[in-house]
Structure 1
Amino acid sequence: MRQTLDSTVNGGSGYCKYGWSKYAAPSGRCATFLEFGNIESPMYARLRHFFSTIYNRIHVKPSARPIVVALPLCHSDDTEAARASRKQYKETLYSVLFDMNVPAVCAVDQALLALYAARRTSGIVVNIGFNVTSVVPIFQGRVMREIGIETVGQGALKLTGFLKELLQRRNISFESLYTVRTIKEKICYVAADYEAELCKNTQASCEVDGEGWFTLSEERFKMAEILFQPQIGGVRAMALHKAVSLCMDHCYNYEVLRDHSWFKTVVLAGGSSCLPGLPERLEKELHKLLPPYISEGIRVLPPPFGTDTAWFGAKMIGTVSTFSDAWCINKKQFRQKSRHSGSSLVNAWR
């Protein structure tokens, strides 16, 4: 039995899922470590508080089992400063866990875990996060930062916020943003053809515990349309299909790799990527936008395990026979590596 903890621990956004790799689903879910620590406190202290809280919730000592942790896609570019920042974060993460006596740690990029959950090692992962959407090219299990990661300045929070605005325009009252998010998850979707959908009767209702029934019509698909037409929601950001097509164009022109099929599988990830109709609409828009020599063969796959996709990617890693030897680093290896590199980054983050 090995322990798997899949957490989105990037500052200020989203939720994490945690649990044992032998289980069929995560044991629990919670907000990121900002729920547990002051944003003004040092990174080391915040991560220490976060992992302590999670271990208490699953009622296990940190020293009991190895751990798989999903790394947030912080600093999407490949500049020297971004590489240094990613290294700082990762070293701080290792330092926290080894100081808590975790025997071995496997830290993997969140986008890569989503790709593994789809049983692939190459492709493009489109992760609709809490604040931003990331378009990540991955080749044979490696994030291709040299090709470029596209970042779109809107995510789940913007979608929920726009739905809130649409409800307020119709004088529909609700208790909280949680209510709006619940409505979004229950009856909202992505239109295959936005203009055609406006001419249809799209009325539907759903019940929110403690608040009763809500009836929506065009709000159901208008909310998600800002992914493709950000301007209708007053959002200044690149359209999703344009960001993905730009990434594909970079992949096609990357001369080091002659194979042009590896990037044509697009895997969606993140809670809002579960909206019905999104894979089909994105695929349709990509075929319209890209030339045939690039668009031929493109497939957009929905999140294979819904909102828990990255956790299941971690679960797959945690259950392979070579997990501890091939995927993990232990405390001794980490200390040796830090000494050889002369790293003083960890202490700086305490």
Structure 2
Amino acid sequence: MDNFGEFLTKNPIVIDNGSGTMRAGLAGNDKPKLQFDNYVGRPKYKMVIPTKSQPDQYLGNITDEQRGMLKLQYPINHGCIQNWDDMDLIWKYCYCELQVSQKEHNYFFENYNTPALFIAVQGVLSLFASGKTTGIIIEIGDGVTQIVPVFEGYSLQYAQQRIDLGGRNITEYFNYLLRRSGYYFHTSAEFEIIKKIKEKKCFVSLVNQGDDKNYDTRGIVDTVTLPDGNTMTLTFEKQKAAEILFNPSLIGLEYTSISDLLIRSVQKVDIDLRNTLYQEIIISGGCTKLKDFPNRFLNEVKKIVPKQQKVKAYSPENREDLCWIGGSILSNLASFKNMWITKKDYEEQGERVLLKNSF
């Protein structure tokens, strides 16, 4: 690409760079072509029988057998990139898998000199994908929970809320509960096994059950077969793991609950806007796919607001991909071409152009 005009003839790449999951694809598609755990795997052991060459890193959809031989490291923690080298490897992998030409590939990754860029808050894109211009979005990912209010297309940034709490915390707490029940998982590969079990088996209790002894385990006993053939019995752990979203003190965090977080955001906006926002709550993010989460969250919000206040929440079936879909739709619009931040803009205005032109 020699200029921005040529760039506009290309199909933009949309990346949802989550703490736990990477989603990438081309603008205009209805779902990401790539979706995989956002980590880099490296061999834990030395190869003593040289039957075939062993890669230095494993990326993408790593098989269960490969995972057991690897140390898995996430480059992003609570929404912040901690390891730029590993992040670079994952971005390069995305470009190769999306079959971007080698010329474009090198151009993007040489000192991050992309021809044009646009950065958006996940919640805003989720709202856009929902076909709305007004609403308040609760976005719960692997590492971060965000509350983003938007009114008639305007992002009310002063009222946004964020806490470092998400799906990875639930997995860690689930692992802790399993240890208390006599099941021990130590390695990064075993942590991923726990994560998959959490996604399939855990659910959100419709009410706060309090202490472990108060959990009604009738009808929820579950047996899981582990990769080595052993079995594990789950009871109250399936319910209690996600309770940290509504009571972060269970894991020693002094955050408010996610329902209180939404109320705090609404209370920061003009009083004339609050009624509308309460009736346009959008639930988004992979963590919210846990069974009964939307109902519990709505119930918790209703407990706090005045009785006469109507509260409505929308939880699209594809809400784990909602952010990426919003980016795909937005960047494919003809009217969007004026919103790109070009390399020339950056060279002339510096970092302030990123704050000015992104949302």
Provide TM-score, normalisation by structure 2: 0.71
* Aligned residue number for residue 215 of structure 2: 198
Compare CA radii of gyration and give the structure with the larger one: 2
* Aligned residue number for residue 61 of structure 2: none
Distance in 1 of aligned mates of 2:215 and 2:334: 53
1:19 to 20, 25, 50: 25
Distance in 2 of aligned mates of 1:245 and 1:211: 46
AA paired with 1:221? Q
Shift of 1:205: 3.3
Distance in 1 of aligned mates of 2:118 and 2:249: 41
Shift of 1:21: 3.0
Change (3 A) 1:160 1:300: same
1:245 to 263, 269, 276: 263
**Structure 2 residue 145 is matched with structure 1 residue 133:** yes
Distance in 2 of aligned mates of 1:194 and 1:47: 38
1:118 to 127, 130, 135: 130
Provide TM-score, normalisation by structure 1: 0.72
CA root-mean-square deviation: 3.6
Structure 1 residues 232-259: Cα deviation after superposition (integer angstroms, max 9, x where no partner):
44443211111111212223xx25x557
Shift of 1:308: 1.9
* Aligned residue number for residue 90 of structure 1: none
Equivalent residue runs for 1:79-158 within 5 Å: 102-146=114-158, 148-158=159-169
* Aligned residue number for residue 278 of structure 1: 293
Mapped contact 1:266–1:300 kept (Cα < 8 A):
yes
1:31 to 28, 35, 38: 38
* Aligned residue number for residue 234 of structure 2: 216
AA paired with 1:261? T
- Partner SS, residue 317 of structure 1: helix
Shift of 1:47: 6.6
Change (3 A) 1:49 1:179: closer
Distance in 1 of aligned mates of 2:251 and 2:344: 52
- Partner SS, residue 7 of structure 1: strand
Identical pairs, percent:
22
Q: State which drifts further: 188-197 or 170-179.
A: 188-197
Mapped contact 1:163–1:219 kept (Cα < 8 A):
yes
Q: Is there any run of 5+ residues in structure 2 with no aligned partner, and where?
A: 1-9, 41-72
Aligned length: 301
Change (3 A) 1:168 1:35: closer
Q: Is there any run of 5+ residues in structure 1 with no aligned partner, and where?
A: 66-94, 346-350
Mapped contact 1:187–1:206 kept (Cα < 8 A):
no
1:169 to 176, 180, 184: 180
Structure 1 residues 92-148: Cα deviation after superposition (integer angstroms, max 9, x where no partner):
xxx9679666443332221111111222222112122333322222223333122x2
AA paired with 2:14? L
Distance in 2 of aligned mates of 1:258 and 1:272: 28
**Structure 2 residue 23 is matched with structure 1 residue 5:** no
Distance in 2 of aligned mates of 1:259 and 1:183: 39
- Partner SS, residue 240 of structure 2: helix
Mapped contact 1:187–1:205 kept (Cα < 8 A):
no
